[in-house]
Chain A
């Protein structure tokens, strides 16, 4: 499964609520299902992530990133 770190306000614009998501400053962590099942987005997973100002990560890379950055609540 892939994970996406994107802008929290853009995620909110398509109906993704902050509750239940890890956040750091203005970023939010989503899993791929939330983007692929969103009717507000089109295209591949990468295109959908890009529309939210985000990037796609694997499980290993996102785990490494949030552990390194810290502050993810």
Chain B
């Protein structure tokens, strides 16, 4: 007689499974590099595919699972991109391949290039049959990201090919002196003479800009904007043609009229259009402009006596700065002629380097007591110019559209 059967099973420890996504092609990594200079990927995945291998390991604490590497045993293999199965995801058809057998079972070969700004999150899922316990163990990995670094993004630099502190000294401004001499009829104006007068001290200051992308100097494909710093974190954009000191802003230089500046700080910004044509800030530099007021002396030069028959008196001021006579001091200085006499103090005559005044206006007398005259000039550096604008804020311009300025 047979007894009832009692089924006894082997008691296995459950499987402990680890799942990790690994890129097995370090020369074609998950993060590509895109070089916009030649519109190529480095490397191009169509030529050098990227392989993402799910490394699945399994073990049991009781040692009953002999082979830890279980990739060949995987079934129900699926890859997900951005949580959508890759077989149905947009733009992936024909650009991937999945290994379905062998020791690299589950590996994903990617031939799709990823453009800067795109991001793909990959996840692997599969099933592992635990034949010991007769159960299916689900396998789900963490995600790995496919992205691309734009080779150009961090490589734009902007620099000034000029001093960061620009000092404007009207005494050394040969361009202002040239314009004074032409206006006064001292010389005939010409383009050649004007060009010769434009140097580092001229009021028309062109500040060259240098823009590089990587090791290359570039002259197009970007925008330059100029701002005047007005506070700790505030600045105002300056554009040519408006009521300001900006003559021109272009991709290679900034041109300012320094006659209109006492002291300003400026910010220059470099913008590059991104994929959506929006301007993206890449770099910025600062510079400042300050007017220089140097020490000088100013004194009348006519030391001759006044004859009883003289009706008028001429004098000319000599202005010296750092041991040198300033040839045309009216360009940089305001000189006002005055006289003091016994009968009349502080009589103002005219402004300018020279004066001719009528002696009878000075109060000079005919006796020993009052037949003297003190001739002197009051002088000061001329301040920054101003743009001539009307009540609506529009600039007054000449026939060529040049702004009128005045002191």
Chain A residues near B (Cβ < 8 Å): 1, 3, 19-22, 29-31, 33-34, 37, 59, 62-63, 66
Q: Quick check: B24 and A33 within 8 Å, CB to CB?
A: no
Whole-angstrom distance between the alpha carbons of A17 and B30 in the complex? 18
Q: Quick check: A37 and B27 within 8 Å, CB to CB?
A: yes
B150 to chain A, nearest CB (A): 15
Q: Quick check: A19 and B47 within 8 Å, CB to CB?
A: no
Beyond known contacts A1-B43, A19-B51, A30-B27: 7 more, CB 8 A cutoff = A1-B44, A3-B47, A22-B48, A29-B47, A29-B48, A59-B38, A63-B47
Q: Which one of A1, A29, A34, A66 lies within 8 Å of B40 (CB-CB)? A: A1
Q: Quick check: B51 and A30 within 8 Å, CB to CB?
A: no
Q: Across the interface, which residues of A come within 8 angstroms of B46, CB to CB?
A: 63
A24 to chain B, nearest CB (A): 13
Which 7 pairs show the lowest CB-CB distances between chains A and B?
A20-B51, A33-B27, A31-B43, A1-B42, A31-B48, A34-B27, A20-B25
Whole-angstrom distance between the alpha carbons of A56 and B152 in the complex? 25
A11 to chain B, nearest CB (A): 12
Q: Which one of B40, B42, B109 lies within 8 Å of A20 (CB-CB)? A: B109
**Can you list 11 A-B contacts with CB-CB less than 8 angstroms, sorted by A residue number?**
A1-B42, A20-B25, A20-B28, A20-B48, A22-B48, A22-B49, A31-B27, A31-B28, A31-B47, A33-B27, A37-B26
B149 to chain A, nearest CB (A): 14
Whole-angstrom distance between the alpha carbons of A29 and B109 in the complex? 15
Q: Quick check: B104 and A19 within 8 Å, CB to CB?
A: yes
Dominant SS among interface residues on chain A: mixed
Dominant SS among interface residues on chain B: loop
Q: Across the interface, which residues of B come within 8 angstroms of A19, CB to CB?
A: 24, 51, 99, 104, 107, 109
Closest chain A residue to B97, Cβ basis? A73
Q: Across the interface, which residues of A come within 8 angstroms of B42, CB to CB?
A: 1
A1 to chain B, nearest CB (A): 4
A68 to chain B, nearest CB (A): 14
Q: Across the interface, which residues of B come within 8 angstroms of A1, CB to CB?
A: 40, 42-44
Closest chain B residue to A1, Cβ basis? B42
Count chain A CB atoms within 10 A of each CB in B24, B25, B27, B109 and give the residue with the most: B27
The answer, yes or no, to whether B50 is at the interface (CB within 8 Å) is: yes
Q: Across the interface, which residues of B come within 8 angstroms of A66, CB to CB?
A: 47
B247 to chain A, nearest CB (A): 45
Chain B contacts with A in 66-112, Cβ cutoff 8 A: 99, 104, 107, 109
Whole-angstrom distance between the alpha carbons of A66 and B26 in the complex? 23
A38 to chain B, nearest CB (A): 10
Q: Quick check: A20 and B43 within 8 Å, CB to CB?
A: no
Closest chain A residue to B103, Cβ basis? A19
Whole-angstrom distance between the alpha carbons of A63 and B113 in the complex? 15
Whole-angstrom distance between the alpha carbons of A29 and B27 in the complex? 12
Closest chain B residue to A66, Cβ basis? B47
A1-B40, A20-B109, A59-B40 known; A30+B24 contact, CB < 8 A: no
Q: Across the interface, which residues of A come within 8 angstroms of B49, CB to CB?
A: 20-22
B108 to chain A, nearest CB (A): 10
Q: Quick check: A20 and B50 within 8 Å, CB to CB?
A: yes
Q: Quick check: B24 and A20 within 8 Å, CB to CB?
A: yes
Chain B contacts with A in 1-53, Cβ cutoff 8 A: 24-28, 38, 40, 42-44, 46-51
A37 to chain B, nearest CB (A): 7
B51 to chain A, nearest CB (A): 4
B26 to chain A, nearest CB (A): 8
Chain B contacts with A in 237-257, Cβ cutoff 8 A: none
Whole-angstrom distance between the alpha carbons of A21 and B50 in the complex? 9
Q: Quick check: A21 and B48 within 8 Å, CB to CB?
A: yes
Q: Across the interface, which residues of B come within 8 angstroms of A34, CB to CB?
A: 27
A17 to chain B, nearest CB (A): 8
Whole-angstrom distance between the alpha carbons of A34 and B27 in the complex? 6
